Structure 1
Amino acid sequence: MKEFGSATATITQYRQQAVSLLLYQAVLEDSVGQTFLALLEALNTSKGATNERTRCLSAYSHWFQALASTGKSWGDHLLGRLLVDDNAFTQAVQAQPLTELPAPLLEAAQHDLAILQGLYDLSPSYISQCVQTACQLSQAPVIWSIGSSTFSIDLPLDWSENLQPLVDHYKQQGTGQFGQFYGFRWQQGQLHGISNPDPVTLEDLAGYEGPKTSLIKNTEFLLAGFNALNVLLYGSRGSGKSSLVKALLNKYGPQGLRLIEVTKAELYELPKIIEYLSPQPQKFIIFVDDLSFEEDDDAFKALKVVLEGGLTRSPQNVVVYATSNRRHLVREFFADRPRPSDADELKSWDTVQEKLSFSDRFGLTLTFEATDQTTYLEIIHHLAQQNNIDLPSNELEFRAKQWATRHNGRSGRSARQFIDFLAADLALEQRP
């Protein structure tokens, strides 16, 4: 009984500390945190009565199930929530040096971090033993305990003593949704995080080394804080323009790069998007895929304002990367050409020129020419090696040429489709 009393006193201390958080309350506001607090409450009030034992066991099962649904350990989950928490302290350290923060804000952060470190170190096996004692069980409940930490951040032995590692993390990775996701989609006036972005990497993409190198260099300018250029990736369909932009995110996301996908229908909100992104410490690529415009298109006007700039200085942390199959992004008709007529616009050739020169407003235009057979086969061999396809070179090339003839022609997209089909076909052949 003395042992149970000691455990109860410790649980009471954890419970009081958890509810006394000043800044990081949201860390415990998800299902795992709420079921954890409910479990502490049940343990704290349990006196051994049957109904109290039942409530305690039920609280433990809810916490166990909530943890199991995350696929993470208790410590990993808690640390993950801590690293993305959006509060007054984490916002402030992204905007100004730690030494310039008000003393009460620093003290509150240190207070909370000391509590959260104690909860982080709390062993699930200890909780299980407390439940066993409180509920008078013959054996302790199953413990949810898996793996080790998946985070690369190197925290000090005392979190509250040295705040700098956390501050550095918040500055680079951001907080809230910018700390949680690398890729986003803008829909109906809001950012929506993409939990499973396209996993394509730069190493997956063969061919077009010139445009690829230029785009990587421009992106690194952006990350380094220089004036990076808006980029138009123009060329034939299936040449890998979109995949190249997406691959940048998988390489540079950990360095603070974020990708915002904006459809043509949402382009009229570009000024609003940029105003929202400009004060953030991360670097942003606004990605517009398959871009083209009709005459008097509102989206055309919005993008033109962003590319040309206005009275407001263009932010250094935001660029536009757009792909298109058209070199001239605004469709032009023969009827647009100037001809003698009383109804024609005066200086109409100027209007035509404005349409044709719109693509020139991008600081950098990268051209992806149609894939010739040499490049196509180079891509085939590259992808075959990555997918461990062991076929004689002449047979692989013969099948690849047949695929291009019978399906979508020669392109990076066609090569990827062929390799995916071939890999599955060979795998089925090898099954017993």
Structure 2
Amino acid sequence: MPRALSETRKPLSASSRTERSGRLTMCAAILSGPDMSTHLAYRWHQQKLRPIEFVQTVQLDDLLGIDRQKAALIQNTRQFVAGKPANHVLLTGSRGTGKSSIVKALLGPFAAQGLRLVELAAHDLIDLPDVVAPLRAQPERFILYVDDFSVSANDPALTALKTALDGGIEEPPENVLVYATSNRRHLMPEMKKDNGEYHWLDDELHPGESTEEKISLSERFGLWLSFLPFTQDQYLDAVRLHLRKLGHEHWDEETEKLSLRWALNRASRSGRVARQFARDWAGRHA
């Protein structure tokens, strides 16, 4: 060792050794990750994974009019919790049709097999590497749940998500998938100027860079599930279901008319609107 270095090197004091030991212990805790077996769902908030004490209970059987979507999502999740290959999922479509509810409902059949939900806000996607790092070594299977996802083309969260889904140097953890819901299939706003970027090449129409960017993100999700507005019959079925759950079996022509008027006033027929009408009606007739 050079003399200059050896002369300046001093033994650590007791307080310094204690401080260094504390830092090492903290680093080890971060690397080993939290105990994820104590709760079914977590939320990434202020740079930390925080347990959700009161998880909203949603039953798959209560979600009507989306049987095809339920079957596909259940099968993908079944493969995932069994340690088999499975895909990231993008759920898109009309508001209130069950996109978010169906993800929450997966805890019912799969929590006992180690499934956990981690809720992540769209603006926190830039933290994805930090979110995923402590989960990699855990025995549980994690769905990163991103609700109502939409970003602008220059949002740094966009790059973080694309890298996490497919495209980074680091091998993605096999026990983590992303399930995202959005009202937009390509996850970013459709701008009028994007149409002007299309061009012809050898008699083929090619999209511009902005459109390519939108498509490249959505294509990283292996499973796409579309949710359409309810038909009138599907809406009325949902109303009757929610009324029964609230203890009201009675159904007549007047109730049907009121429920249809309720949907008309909201310009939407969906499971959410059906539930809202049922709660209003049940409260008035309690």
Under a length normalisation based on structure 2, what TM-score does the superposition of the two structures give? 0.80
Question: What code does the residue aligned with 2:70 have?
Answer: K
Q: Is the 8 A contact 1:286 1:319 kept in 2?
A: yes
Unaligned runs of 5+ in 2: 1-28, 200-205
Matched, 1:379 2:242: no
Tell me if structure 2 keeps the 8 A contact 1:241–1:368.
yes
Structure 1 unmatched runs, 5+: 1-90, 96-174, 341-346, 428-432
Residue 76 of structure 1 aligns with which residue? none
Partner Cα separation in structure 2 for residue 290 and residue 389 of structure 1? 32
The alignment-based identity, stated in percent, is: 41
- Indicate if the aligned counterparts of 1:239 and 1:368 stay in contact, CA closer than 8 A: yes
Say yes or no: does 1:320 pair with 2:189: no
Determine if the alignment matches structure 1 residue 366 to structure 2 residue 225. Answer: yes
SS of the equivalent of 2:106 reads helix
Shift of 1:317: 0.9
Select the residue among 379, 398, 403 that pairs with 2:262. 403
Deviations 1:207-238 (A, max 9, x none): 21101111111111111001111000000011
Q: How does 1:254-273 map to 2 (within 5 A)?
A: 254-273=112-131
- The aligned runs of 1:232-271 (5 Å cut-off) are 232-271=90-129
Q: Determine whether 1:197 maps to 2:55.
A: yes
User: Which structure would you say has the larger RCO, counting Cα contacts within 8 Å and 6 or more residues apart?
Assistant: 2
CA distance in 1, matches of 2:122, 2:229: 25
Q: Which amino acid aligns with 1:397?
A: E
Measure how far apart 1:333 and its partner are: 2.1
The structure whose residues are more often strand, as a share, is 2
Tell me, in whole angstroms, the C-alpha distance in 1 between the residues paired with 2:136 and 2:109: 22
User: How many residues are matched?
Assistant: 249
Which structure shows the higher helix fraction?
1
Residues 150 and 189, structure 2, Cα contact 8 Å, conserved in 1: yes
Q: 1:390 to 1:355 in 2, by over 3 A?
A: closer
If the length of structure 1 is used for normalisation, what is the TM-score?
Answer: 0.54
- Between the aligned partners of 2:103 and 2:251, the Cα distance in structure 1 is 33
Deviations 1:109-159 (A, max 9, x none): xxxxxxxxxxxxxxxxxxxxxxxxxxxxxxxxxxxxxxxxxxxxxxxxxxx
**Which amino acid in the other structure matches residue 251 of structure 2?**
P
How far did 1:301 drift? 0.5
* Structure-1 residue corresponding to 2:74: 216
For 1:365 and 1:259, the matched residues in 2 are separated by 19
Q: Which has the larger radius of gyration?
A: 1
Instruction: Output the aligned Cα RMSD.
Output: 2.3
- 1:408–1:414: 8 Å Cα contact kept in structure 2? no
Structure-1 residue corresponding to 2:152: 294
The 3 A distance-change label for structure 1 pair 177 and 393 is: farther
Secondary structure, counterpart of 2:95 in structure 1? coil
Aligned partners of 2:98, 2:281: CA distance in 1, in Å?
20
- Structure 2 counterpart of 1:415, which letter? A
Query: What pairs up with 1:83-94 in 2 under 5 angstroms?
Result: none
**Which deviates further from its counterpart, 389-398 or 207-216?**
389-398
2 CA distance for matches of 1:375 and 1:425?
Answer: 24
For residues 417 and 320 of structure 1, do their structure 2 counterparts lie closer, same or farther at Cα, with a shift above 3 Å needed?
same
- 2:15 maps to none
Give, in whole Å, the separation in 2 of the partners of 1:408 and 1:218.
Answer: 33
User: Is the alpha carbon distance of 1:407 and 1:354 closer, same or farther for their aligned partners in structure 2, counting shifts above 3 Å?
Assistant: closer
Which residue does 1:183 correspond to in 2? Answer: 41
In 2, Cα distance between the equivalents of 1:194 and 1:417? 25
Aligned to 2:275, which of 388, 405, 416? 416
C-alpha distance after superposition, 1:56-78 (max 9, x if no partner): xxxxxxxxxxxxxxxxxxxxxxx
- Distance in 1 (CA, whole Å) between partners of 2:274 and 2:35 is 36
What is the letter of the counterpart of residue 161 of structure 2? Answer: L
Q: Is the 8 A contact 1:226 1:316 kept in 2?
A: no
Residues in 2 aligned to 1:304 and 1:201: alpha-carbon distance in whole angstroms: 31
What are the within-5 Å matches in structure 2 for residues 15-414 of structure 1? 177-336=35-194, 337-338=196-197, 349-407=208-266, 409-414=268-273
